[in-house]
Amino acid sequence: MKCALCGSEGLFEIVSHSDAKSSEPLLIAMCRHCGLVQQSPTPTADTLRIYYSHNYRKDYKKTYTPKSKHVYRAGKTALQRLDFLNRCGIVNGTLLDVGAGGGEFVYLSGRAGFQAEGIEPNIGYSQYAKSAYGCHVITGELDGVSQLYDTITLFHVLEHLPSPIEAFEKLHSLLKQGGKLLVEVPWIEAQDASPHNIYFKAHIFYFSADTLSACASQFFNVLHIDTSSNLKILFSAKSKPSPITLPESRSVARTRKRLRSKGWLEYLFQGGACIKPVKKLIRAVEESKMDGAKPKDILDGLVEERQGH
């Protein structure tokens, strides 16, 4: 096995042996040199392309098109992400959402003033975005994009790609000078994830703030890091590539210690698991009100509700 970040070979320690959803064998290892946590071995690009275009949405959402509850959740999350961009001073311009799903973020970005479009590998979801919202969401992969943008967003996409460094290189080539890139991934150090529900075959990489920053360091500068919900980093495109900056040894040691310290007591009390059933019940009641509503009406209603407040 060769590390996708630093290129080291043979410097790994196993952190998990099985898939949290299926219990099937799945080796997850941490590089002792740079701290990147990754599948061993990494699936090929062709294997991943077939999986995400045909099976991923079915495996994880149990459907090929979003249900009303998925639209409602995605809409609320999209508005929170737009708030984050606004707080960072990004309020308009051309925007590409990579892994656009059902198109909720693209649609709401358009309503907020962006010239927004998306790309999504799953044909069911990409067609849904077009028919439900009239969004410009094309079916395909990142390597098929050639236009330049002011802002690119990737929400829970990078952890699925076969090479994060190659992805950042491609993203850099698609941004205008000084363009911004917002990446959100699951945070390997989070307290609100069950110790037995972390590692899945669909996730190739598991990032800390330091390893995510390092993967981008040749092509991007870090502008803002947020770990209040998952791990979000806002990057600014460099004028030209520079040598990679790897995490320091103390960062690797901290990641190792953090992974070993994850446990049920932390999850229950610091991670809030003890009140999750109540939150799920409240969410289920809210989502039940959306049954039968048109997707566009659900999103428009969320915007109007927010404006009313």
What is the per-residue pLDDT across 156-165, written as a single tens digit (0 to 9) for each?
A: 999 999 999 9
- Residue 50, pLDDT above cutoff 90: no
Domain hosting residue 219, numbered range: 12-308
Query: Would you state the pLDDT for residue 58?
Result: 57
Query: Would you state the pLDDT for residue 219?
Result: 98
What is the per-residue pLDDT across 53-72, written as a single tens digit (0 to 9) for each?
A: 656 655 655 566 788 999 99
What is the per-residue pLDDT across 232-241, written as a single tens digit (0 to 9) for each?
A: 999 999 999 9
The half-sphere exposure of 34 on its side-chain side, counting CA atoms within 13 A, is 24
Is residue 56 one of the residues assigned to a domain?
A: yes
**Residue 30: CATH number of its domain:** 3.40.50.150
Is residue 6 one of the residues assigned to a domain?
A: no
Is residue 77 one of the residues assigned to a domain?
A: yes
The half-sphere exposure of 184 on its side-chain side, counting CA atoms within 13 A, is 19
Query: Would you state the pLDDT for residue 6?
Result: 96
Query: Would you state the pLDDT for residue 64?
Result: 66
Q: How confident is residue 272, by pLDDT bands cut at 50, 70 and 90?
A: confident
Each residue of 51-68: b (16+ CB within 10 Å) or e?
A: bbbeebbeeebeeebbbb
CA distance 257 to 153: 31
Is residue 7 one of the residues assigned to a domain?
A: no
Is residue 2 one of the residues assigned to a domain?
A: no
Q: How many domains does the chain divide into?
A: 1
- Residue 307, pLDDT above cutoff 80: yes
CA distance 94 to 151: 6
Query: Would you state the pLDDT for residue 179?
Result: 98
What is the per-residue pLDDT across 165-181, written as a single tens digit (0 to 9) for each?
A: 999 999 999 999 999 99
Is residue 80 one of the residues assigned to a domain?
A: yes
| pLDDT (average), residues 200-207 | 94
Query: Which carries the bigger pLDDT value, residue 154 or residue 44?
Result: 154
Is residue 212 one of the residues assigned to a domain?
A: yes
Q: Which residues contact 198 (CB under 8 A, 6 or more apart)?
A: 16, 20, 188, 206, 262
Is residue 178 one of the residues assigned to a domain?
A: yes
Tell me the one-letter amino acid at 15.
V
